[in-house]
Amino acid sequence: MSLKECTADRAKKCAREEDKNFKQCTEERDQGYDQCTQSRDDGYKDCCGWIPCKWFCRAWVWISHIVCVVWTWIANVVCVVWTWIKNIVCVLWVYLTAAICMIPGIGKYITGFLDGVVDTILDIIGGIINGFIGLISHPIEAVKTIISFFLGCPKVRAVAPGALQVIAHHHFRKTAKGGARLCTLPWVCVSLLPTLKVA
Q: Domain residue spans in the chain? A: 3-148, 153-191
Using DSSP, state whether 190 is helix, strand or coil: strand
Q: How far apart are CA 8 and CA 94, in angstroms?
A: 9
pLDDT score, position 147: 76
Are 75 and 32 in contact by the 8 Å Cβ rule? The answer is yes
Q: How far apart are CA 72 and CA 39, in angstroms?
A: 13
pLDDT score, position 195: 41
- Looking at every residue in the chain, the average pLDDT score rounds to 77
Query: Which parts of the chain sit beneath pLDDT 50?
Result: 157-176, 178-199
- Is the pTM higher than 0.85? no
pLDDT tens per residue across span 181-197: 444 444 444 444 444 44
